[in-house]
Structure 1
Amino acid sequence: MLATAATATWSMSAHIIVQPRSDNGLYNNAPVATVMSPINIPINQKTVINVPVADADGDITRCRWSTTFTECGDVCPPGSLPSSTVIYPNCTIVITGQHIDDWFAVTIMVEDFINSTSTTPLSSVPVQFLVHVVAAASCSTPPEIIGIPEEQSCTALTVGQNFTSQLIAINYCGPSVTILDIATLSFPGMVQGTIVELNTSTYYNTMQWTPPTAQLGY
């Protein structure tokens, strides 16, 4: 049950242009955004959520709240979110939960534009996820993820090329705190191993992927 409604209708819609672009004569590639759900946020702490966005055409991308019933049903911001929640065009959301175990639906639209001055999107893509308010952790220093690939980086592979990487988590909270998992949002075929404790401050797991022809462009 959401904090703002006992029951709510959900809806999402997308907008694309099926004609060639005016600048290069090619068909437009809509932006792609990925986000995990649910996202846990600590009570009474301003939390920044960054929604990663990629655009194959290199277009200008911006984010906004979903606004119409077809875009978000009964969970349209700002009424579906805590007061003072804001979204910025760079797809950064700032939110503060005020009650433990509250759930909120976040509904946004990611849009691409032909240039920085345009206000008419080439396409509009929905992104929807849940936010859950939890008790604040006993240690206020979050763990750090390091390793290759780096955050928001892009690694080029060829079809059939095996890719292996290690995600390393650093625990800054001492031996009384244990890292249980390193969660990832991965595409089909990505194999993630079991987390391994190297010592009380360092944990890691291994990821492997061999891209098939069907995943060209991922």
Structure 2
Amino acid sequence: MSKLQPPALLGCHRCHKLVRWREQSACPRCGAHLHLRTPRSLSWTWAWLISASALMLPANLLPITRLQTFGMVDEDTIFSGVMSLYRNDMPGIATIVLVASVIVPLFKILGLSWICLRLKVGGSLNQAGAMRLYRFIEFIGRWSILDLFVIALMMSAIDRGLLLNVTPGPAATAFGGVVVLTLFAAKSLDTRLLWDQDNDNESKEP
């Protein structure tokens, strides 16, 4: 990557104050060290994405809820829970759970991985399209936790501690980890790297 040309003004990454750029300077408001690009942004994003991908397996294969009725324990994974909702004529809720629990986290991991891979290998890249994809991933990220809210509401509505007892399974913890890690991955990616790559490609043109 070519050497970055420092701007006259630089935004602090912590408090967002505009500061005149000087080498090895600190923000006068919060004291944070000023830098042109977030250090090790791509490495941190890859680390969060790999960790989130590893948790996707237990989140989808292990039981996410345990229902105890008259001494009998019935466990449901995300997929079996979705199928049960479809069988009980609740397609709307089933679709919401499927999208929020499987499709959205997988889309976030694949989308961010594609952006990071393009930044890593270089070459031509539609920066505007990549930015739209990134903003969409950030927008839908806040809805990824919806499935855990559904589980919490279901437990509060059903669990009476007498004949019925609903408890979250280990997949709920793994799924929560996927949501948090993908949020960290999106926040740690410095999207200015996309435009740096565009400037590098322009400088190489004859």
TM-score (norm 2): 0.24
Greater C-alpha radius of gyration? 2
Could you say which structure has the higher helix fraction? Answer: 2
Could you say which structure has the higher strand fraction? Answer: 1
Of structures 1 and 2, the one scoring higher in RCO (CA 8 A, sep 6+) is: 2
TM-score (norm 1): 0.23
